[in-house]
Chain A
């Protein structure tokens, strides 16, 4: 048998391989004892960012809570692909009620646990961007407002993928969806629309808000673990590429998630009580074209006559994020 050399780094990243770390610093997923809360065999598409993000997030939450987690799921891809009954991928108590009420259902579960003296049981609500930033937004804001002891995780793939790729308020400008067609003088989703729910979450003054990416799974695990040490309303917004909806190759999910961060289009940060407390620095800054080009939803920007103005506007968004969230190491880049 041919011997394989040990890889200490993932290709093209600065991620340290687990084997270089002390045992207690290794990832939850590297541990044989991980709970596999979202077990294999579900029906997610090949390369699904949401399945990956959910597995890492919930396993990390399980480890942080001594396996005392109840999850409340909004309608959407994650719900549909995980529970085509009689099959269920969930190894934890899990409830799906409606599209727009996951945060409120979680409040109810939390209240029941409180009244039964089970403060050790932690409640997670989760949904896609449609279930979070659009239809579930009222319940989400209500849960934040009451500072209910719930961790809400949004798996953001930037459109309604389960119903066939329609625009949500998390769809980025210029992106083609089934309802923002690549037609007319301004093809794709229009500029100046959409909402930034992590910032809106911060505006509620809740104790913990973070953004995360499936390209940085250790960071994701660390943020979930951090969130589990806090009581009150918490919000983690994870960018999860969708090969189907984005028109990308399944093997490019991690790469695209990384490029979204390295361009500055998806800033990774943490905030406590409404104040940004840290942001992940970009070490390889890349122009937005590198992120946009492999995705068919942006193909109309790269035709015979590239949409130079549109690309410049998207680059401006990335630059603004870099300034606003201090995404470049200021010592090195002045």
Chain B
């Protein structure tokens, strides 16, 4: 059904249609509206057969989810930023135990400095925890991916993170198509766990595993993700059959057929990228884009094929691997084996800095002329950085950098 709704609320409705049995809620901006929406539905009796549990921390949220999932319940939670880091130990644990929990990440920066706005630092920090990571480009896709996520998680017995850009998507109101219960029921069968805590068939779960078997258990997690490389496109195709629209998959290209320059990015920034590509195409440049929807597993083969005829690769990333540069671009290096091209890493939009069309346009123009540095920080205020470096040079006790820069920008520099 078409309706004008907030991204978070659409996700909540979509999750509710998946008939979750246990939902753990702990507030953190910008995911809070999702669990609030679900809580409302449970309290009002619209979402039945579901336990909504207010926990005392994100660590508890995912721990409760681990218990519920191990006891055979379809389980959901959502978090962001510091919350994801606070539950980090449980994130790895849920994956190690092979529990098909679905969790939304309302992508947000990590402090310090504390910052509530969007970038991908949070989910990127957990990229190797053993969860499948899907990144939604639009709110329609965010809503749809959750339905696919439960199917994927339960088929593989592996947790799935659905990453949704904080504020840009979670708080945006737009026209979205919310599926019907019949559609979702037709797509998503009831949860049939591979392992379950059951007094009539007692098993021990979470035992100590030594050097004799640990590698094998970890390898199996990798093997499952390799299976997911086949499964994700299948589930996306089936989704199209039932719901009548394209959502999900491993990656999606835009005007990339004959493109000599390919821009790669994750999430909502692809909307802006596409607009700029349209402009440049109109002017005759052979430029296209690829959206990575599944960052884990990483679609290396698909990207290899896409890039095998390209001359230039521009990776726009909303996270920074401090001390080396880009995370996505480093993952892409594996896919570039045997391909010779100019690869540019662009770190952009950290802490919610807007990634504008004009900035992208001048960036792509420089890329097309091969005038970009290998690592670029889009719209970095270099003079503010220089002034702080000067202060640090001038005085040993130069004080806290973040506060210095803010004071400087406000015109009150010492």
A-to-B contact residues, CB < 8 Å: 67-70, 72-73, 79-80, 83-85, 88, 90-98, 100-101, 104-116, 121, 138-139, 141-142, 145-146
Contact = CB atoms under 8 A, between A and B. Distances in A.
B229 to A, nearest CB: 28
Interface in B52-67: 53-57, 59-60, 63-67
A83 B202 contact: no
A109 B71 contact: yes
27 contacts: A68-B199, A73-B206, A80-B208, A83-B206, A84-B207, A85-B209, A88-B204, A93-B199, A94-B204, A95-B67, A95-B70, A95-B204, A98-B63, A98-B93, A101-B59, A105-B64, A107-B55, A108-B67, A108-B69, A111-B53, A111-B67, A112-B75, A113-B71, A115-B50, A116-B21, A121-B199, A146-B53
Contact of B63 (A91, A112, A139): A139
A95 B197 CA distance: 8
A104 B208 CA distance: 20
Nearest to A117: B49
Interface residues of B, number: 43
Given A105-B64, A138-B60, A139-B59, A112 B21 contact: yes
Nearest to B99: A97
B199 A98 contact: no
Interface of B: 21-22, 24, 49-51, 53-57, 59-60, 63-73, 75, 89-90, 93, 97, 197-199, 201-210, 213
B93 A97 contact: yes
B66 A97 contact: yes
A84 B208 contact: yes
Give the 9 A-B residue pairs with the shortest CB-CB distance, closest first. A108-B67, A142-B56, A112-B71, A104-B63, A101-B63, A96-B206, A108-B68, A105-B67, A112-B73
B50 to A, nearest CB: 7
Contacts of B75: 108, 112
Contacts of A68: 199
Contacts of A72: 67
A289 to B, nearest CB: 40
Contact of A116 (B64, B72, B97, B207): B72
B202 A90 contact: yes
Contact of B53 (A67, A93, A107): A107
B84 to A, nearest CB: 16
B56 A141 contact: yes
Contacts of B93: 97-98
Nearest to A150: B67
A79 B207 CA distance: 8
Contacts of B56: 138-139, 141-142, 145
A110 B22 CA distance: 10
A95 B139 CA distance: 37
Contacts of B69: 108, 112
